[in-house]
Amino acid sequence: MTLTKQLISLCFFHNSPVNIRPSKRLLYKTTLVYFLFSLALDKLFVELTDGIVQTLLDLLLALLFVAMLFLLTATHRKKVRFLQSMIAILGCQTVITIGALPIGYWVALVDEKHIWIPVYCLPFLAVWNIAVVGNILSQELGKNKMTGFYLACIFFSASFLLSSLMTMM
How many whole angstroms separate alpha carbon 148 and alpha carbon 143? 7
Number of compact structural domains in the chain = 1
Domain that holds residue 164: 3-168
Cα distances from 40 to residues 35, 43, 45, 102, in angstroms, run 9, 5, 10, 11
Q: Classify residue 16 as exposed, middle or buried by CB count within 10 Å of its CB (0-12, 13-18, 19+).
A: middle
**Residue 121 pLDDT grade (very low, low, confident, very high; cuts 50, 70, 90):** confident
Mean pLDDT, the chain, rounded, equals 86
In the DSSP assignment, the letter for residue 47 is -
> Could you give the count of Cα atoms lying within 13 Å of 50 in the half-sphere of its Cβ?
15
* Amino acid identity at 54: Q
Q: Which pLDDT does position 143 carry in this prediction? A: 81
What is the model's pLDDT at position 75?
63
In this structure, of 22-36, 50-64, 114-128, the range with the lowest mean pLDDT score is 114-128
Would the pTM of this model clear 0.85, i.e. be above it? Answer: yes
List pLDDT tens digits, range 126-156.
899 999 999 998 988 878 889 889 999 999 9
**b or e along 40-58 (b: 16 or more beta carbons within 10 Å of the residue's beta carbon)?**
bbbbeeeeeebbbebbeeb
- Asked whether residue 1 carries a pLDDT value surpassing 80, the answer given is no
Q: What is the pLDDT of residues 64-113, one digit of tens each?
A: 999 888 888 766 778 888 889 999 999 999 999 998 888 888 877 776 77
